[in-house]
């Protein structure tokens, strides 16, 4: 079964609710949706129906500023964590975008980063960060205190060549996408390897540049394929369930999809960001209703704009 299309919002620009690329996405426990808008160097906040609420951020190195932000996550206190890739740090904000703290700098020691990308929160609010160029996952308390790290460069189980996305399931096991190795790896909360699946291709359970990943409480997960312009759904063990999407700018199509966020309410809603369609699309396993957000179809010229 494929999910129902449930609306979209965005479009190219710098106005409220517009994007120049749309990357990381996260949903708070109250349903608020946070989207990383990298070309505008800001975080935008929406209701789960796509109504614009707020924004924060600008270009720079000071607290609350960003250089090439990418991943985003929300904890049980509604605090927001942003992987500030260009500044090699994580920044923490409250739900209104007020700065709380930051940690990290360029390097390969514990607590240092080289291009942090994906970020996720465990059930006890410990934070997992994909330290991409260092080919490892680092785990911290919610205040940024280093706990442990795992992974190194390579192609065998537990190693990474270009790790990007990360997600945590109801058991606090975590799943990491490796865009260059075209696979997903699963670890327990201590970083011990559990299983792996995927290879390069366009068939079921194959990937072309997997980036975003998110889990549902029904023991399934979604993987966003940047190269194949589609979403695949799997069990927690990596068994293929379904897929949807193709390249384009119409409803249910994608142009360089990036990240995904899920909610277990309202029929298992999931939100997909698209880099070159500059928008968020929403899907669920419940049929649509007349409250779903909608924008006019993107023109070919709009879809081709870059930042």
Q: What pLDDT digit, counting tens, does each position of 54-100 carry?
A: 999 999 999 999 999 999 999 999 999 999 999 999 999 999 999 99
Q: Are 185 and 237 in contact (CB under 8 A)?
A: no
Give residue 286's pLDDT. Answer: 84
Number of helices followed by number of strands (H, E) in the chain: 1, 24
290 has pLDDT over 70:
no
| Closest listed residue to residue 72, CA positions, set 285, 260, 303, 289 | 260
- Rounded to two decimals, the pTM is 0.94
Query: Residue 256 has which token pair?
Result: 């360089």
- Give me the residue label for tokens 């609420």: 53
| Closest listed residue to residue 137, CA positions, set 126, 223, 268 | 126
| 52, 132, 212, 220 from 244: Cα distances, Å | 27, 28, 15, 15
Separation between Cα atoms, residue 248 and residue 120, nearest integer Å: 29
Average pLDDT across the chain, whole number: 93
Indicate the pLDDT class of residue 296, thresholds 50, 70 and 90.
very low
Separation between Cα atoms, residue 225 and residue 203, nearest integer Å: 12
302 has pLDDT over 60:
no
Give residue 216's pLDDT. Answer: 92
299 has pLDDT over 50:
no
Percent of the chain surpassing pLDDT 90: 89
DSSP H/E element including 302 = helix 300-304
Separation between Cα atoms, residue 268 and residue 94, nearest integer Å: 26
CB neighbours of residue 54 within 10 Å: 14
Mean pLDDT of 278-291: 86
| Closest listed residue to residue 212, CA positions, set 192, 239, 188, 232 | 232
Q: Are 279 and 19 in contact (CB under 8 A)?
A: yes
* Burial of 64 from C-beta contacts in 10 A (0-12 / 13-18 / 19+): middle
Give residue 293's pLDDT. Answer: 67
297 has pLDDT over 50:
no
Separation between Cα atoms, residue 47 and residue 293, nearest integer Å: 11
């Amino acid at each position: 079964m494929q999910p129902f299309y449930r609306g979209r919002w965005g479009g190219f620009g710098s106005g409220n609710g517009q994007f120049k690329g749309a990357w990381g996405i996260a949903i708070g426990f109250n349903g608020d949706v946070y989207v990383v808008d990298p070309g505008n160097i800001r975080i935008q906040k929406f209701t789960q129906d796509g109504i614009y609420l707020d924004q924060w951020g600008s270009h720079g190195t000071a607290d609350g500023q960003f250089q090439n932000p990418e991943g985003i996550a929300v904890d049980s206190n509604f605090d927001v964590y942003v992987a500030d890739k260009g500044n090699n740090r994580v920044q923490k904000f409250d739900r209104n975008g007020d700065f709380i703290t930051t940690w990290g700098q360029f390097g390969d020691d514990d607590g240092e980063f080289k291009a942090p990308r994906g970020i996720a929160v465990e059930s006890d609010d410990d934070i997992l960060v994909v330290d991409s160029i260092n080919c490892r996952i680092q785990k911290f308390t919610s205040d940024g205190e280093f706990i442990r790290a795992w992974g190194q460069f390579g192609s065998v189980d537990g190693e990474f060549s270009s790790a990007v996305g990360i997600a945590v399931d109801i058991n606090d096991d975590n799943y990491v996408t490796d865009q260059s190795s075209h696979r997903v790896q699963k670890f327990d909360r201590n970083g011990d390897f559990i299983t792996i699946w995927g290879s390069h291709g366009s068939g079921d359970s194959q990937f072309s540049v997997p980036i975003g990943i998110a889990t549902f409480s029904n023991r399934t997960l979604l993987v966003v394929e940047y190269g194949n312009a589609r979403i695949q759904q799997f069990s927690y063990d990596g068994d293929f369930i379904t897929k949807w999407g193709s390249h384009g700018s119409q409803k249910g199509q994608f142009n360089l999809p990036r990240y995904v966020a899920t909610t277990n309410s309202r029929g298992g809603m999931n939100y997909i960001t698209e880099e070159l369609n500059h928008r968020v699309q929403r899907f669920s396993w419940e049929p649509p209703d007349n409250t779903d957000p909608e924008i006019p179809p993107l023109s070919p010229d709009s879809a081709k704009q870059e930042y």
